[in-house]
């Protein structure tokens, strides 16, 4: 018996919230295709607009799935539905963005995700060792957006044309990087540069050479300004007293303890007590600095300035992962802690 559930219905849905830069359009696209919907999805200002046409059953299922938000990637604050007359629509597609002057919610920068970390460490992957690896689920957003809607042309990535391999992923619905605006690889996109401020005329080092040099300088006790997502970190080894003292002079920071970036939670646990709640905080998307009680202060005296706590945090950019992987802080024994820097 037909209760009207198989009758074609069409609706326009306006979705407000954190729905750009979080993979919302590809997600809508996949769900719509699976359910056999016709219509389109597009960014409009900071919102997303969907036109969907299908049987009432399929449409209801589609709307329930959207509201359910299983993997919690986006945040819907409001959804407005307007019924439309049924028309001759094509298969579901992602179409070019529209403009709107309404208030936009800009998505936050996201820490590098576990899948990207796997690729980062896999020598057979074409993004092996890429310090700017990202995907639909991770990478900078807020910091690189110049205006909404969140499309590549409205971000600093517009200066980096995609190579053909990246373009293929960008346009393939089955790819993790389908419509990922930050997509790039070792053949296209931003790259690493190392500059020595004492030798301005010296040739710039790039890519692997730049990373290697930064690691060497830090190991030798130097200070490196490492570009993060939204600014620079002034970095030195927390084990080398002379380096930490020099960093304090550079920053004009006399007493406040320094935060220490560790490669992993298991590394932190070699120095600090970490409760379950603190571990959740450390690995949360905001990657906050968490004050943890130290088992024993094994770092240079000027790092923690006699505090019983260590301000620990985890890497959130691929570059920080690459650096901390090389540098630790490794588990030093007490004798090594009083090493002095040999960086001139």
Among 34-42, 84-92, 187-195, 313-321, the segment contacting Zn ion (CB under 5 A): 187-195
* Minimum CB distance to Zn ion, residue 344 (Å): 39
* Minimum CB distance to Zn ion, residue 141 (Å): 12
Judged by CB under 5 A, does residue 185 bind Zn ion?
yes
| CA–CA distance, 111 with 306 (Å, rounded to integer) | 31
Nearest C-alpha neighbor of 182 from the set 87, 105, 109: 109
Residue 293's φ and ψ, nearest 5 degrees, are -65, 130
User: Where are the alpha helices (H) located in 70-223, listed in sequence order?
Assistant: 114-120, 164-170, 207-219
Q: Which residues of 285-320 are buried (b: 16+ CB within 10 A; e: fewer)?
A: eebebbebebeebbbbebbbeeeeebbbbbbbbbbb
Q: Among residues 7 and 208, whose Cβ is nearest to Zn ion?
A: 208
Q: Among residues 13 and 116, whose Cβ is nearest to Zn ion?
A: 116
| CA–CA distance, 222 with 235 (Å, rounded to integer) | 8
Residue 232's φ and ψ, nearest 5 degrees, are -110, 145
Judged by CB under 5 A, does residue 166 bind Zn ion?
yes
Residue 324's φ and ψ, nearest 5 degrees, are -70, -25
Judged by CB under 5 A, does residue 63 bind Zn ion?
no
Q: Among residues 112 and 240, whose Cβ is nearest to Zn ion?
A: 112
* Minimum CB distance to Zn ion, residue 81 (Å): 32
Q: Among residues 105 and 163, whose Cβ is nearest to Zn ion?
A: 163
Contacting Zn ion within 100-139 (CB under 5 A): 113, 116, 135, 137-138
* Minimum CB distance to Zn ion, residue 76 (Å): 22
Judged by CB under 5 A, does residue 291 bind Zn ion?
no
Q: Among residues 140 and 238, whose Cβ is nearest to Zn ion?
A: 140
Crossing angle of the two packed helices 318-327 and 207-219, in degrees rounded to 10: 40
* Minimum CB distance to Zn ion, residue 108 (Å): 15
| CA–CA distance, 257 with 307 (Å, rounded to integer) | 7
Q: Where are the beta strands (DSSP E) in 133-258?
A: 193-194, 205-206, 224-227, 232-235
Q: Among residues 138 and 157, whose Cβ is nearest to Zn ion?
A: 138
Among 10-18, 76-84, 180-188, 212-220, the segment contacting Zn ion (CB under 5 A): 180-188
Judged by CB under 5 A, does residue 22 bind Zn ion?
no
* Minimum CB distance to Zn ion, residue 180 (Å): 8
* Minimum CB distance to Zn ion, residue 119 (Å): 8
Q: Among residues 102 and 187, whose Cβ is nearest to Zn ion?
A: 187
User: Where are the alpha helices (H) located in 69-123, listed in sequence order?
Assistant: 114-120
Q: Give the CA count within 13 Å in the CB-facing half-sphere of 202.
A: 11
131: which 2 tokens?
């310090």
Judged by CB under 5 A, does residue 163 bind Zn ion?
yes
Among 37-45, 50-58, 100-108, 184-192, the segment contacting Zn ion (CB under 5 A): 184-192
Q: Among residues 125 and 297, whose Cβ is nearest to Zn ion?
A: 125
Q: Give the CA count within 13 Å in the CB-facing half-sphere of 25.
A: 28
Judged by CB under 5 A, does residue 188 bind Zn ion?
yes
| CA–CA distance, 179 with 30 (Å, rounded to integer) | 12
Q: Among residues 190 and 257, whose Cβ is nearest to Zn ion?
A: 190
Among 20-28, 155-163, 282-290, 319-327, the segment contacting Zn ion (CB under 5 A): 155-163
**Strand order of the sheet with strand 309-313?**
259-261, 309-313, 290-293
Size of interface with Zn ion, in residues (CB under 5 A)? 10
Q: Where along the sequence are the contacts to Zn ion (CB under 5 A)?
A: 113, 116, 135, 137-138, 163, 166, 185, 187-188
């Amino acid at each position: 018996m037909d209760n009207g559930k198989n009758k074609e219905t069409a609706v326009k849905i306006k979705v407000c919230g954190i729905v750009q830069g979080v993979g919302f359009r590809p997600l809508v696209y996949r769900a719509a295709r699976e359910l056999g919907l016709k219509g389109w999805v597009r960014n409009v200002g900071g919102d997303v607009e969907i036109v969907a046409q299908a049987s009432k059953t399929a449409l209801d299922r589609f709307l329930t799935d959207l509201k359910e938000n299983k993997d919690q990637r986006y945040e819907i604050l409001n959804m407005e539905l307007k019924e439309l007359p049924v028309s001759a629509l094509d298969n579901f597609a992602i179409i070019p963005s529209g403009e709107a002057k309404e208030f936009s919610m800009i998505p936050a920068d996201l820490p590098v995700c576990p899948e990207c970390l796997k690729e980062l460490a896999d020598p057979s992957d074409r993004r092996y060792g890429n310090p700017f690896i990202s995907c639909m689920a991770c990478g900078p957003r807020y910091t690189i957006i110049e205006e909404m809607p969140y499309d590549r042309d409205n971000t600093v990535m517009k200066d980096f044309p995609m190579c053909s391999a990246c373009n293929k992923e960008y346009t393939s619905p089955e790819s993790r990087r389908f419509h990922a605006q930050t997509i790039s690889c070792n053949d296209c996109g931003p790259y690493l540069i190392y500059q020595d401020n004492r030798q301005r005329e010296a040739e710039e080092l790039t890519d692997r050479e730049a990373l290697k040099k930064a690691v060497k300088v830090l190991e030798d006790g130097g200070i490196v300004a490492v570009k993060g997502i939204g600014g620079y970190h002034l970095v030195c080894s927390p084990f080398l007293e002379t380096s930490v003292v020099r960093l304090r002079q550079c920053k004009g920071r006399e007493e406040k303890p320094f935060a220490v970036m560790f490669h992993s939670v298991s590394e932190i646990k070699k120095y600090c007590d970490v409760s379950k709640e603190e571990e959740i905080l450390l690995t949360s998307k905001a990657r906050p600095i968490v004050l943890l009680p130290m088992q024993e202060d094994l770092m240079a005296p000027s790092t923690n300035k006699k505090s019983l706590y260590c301000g620990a945090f985890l890497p959130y950019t691929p570059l920080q992962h690459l650096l901390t992987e090389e540098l630790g802080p490794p588990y030093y024994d007490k004798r090594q802690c009083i090493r002095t820097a040999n960086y001139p």
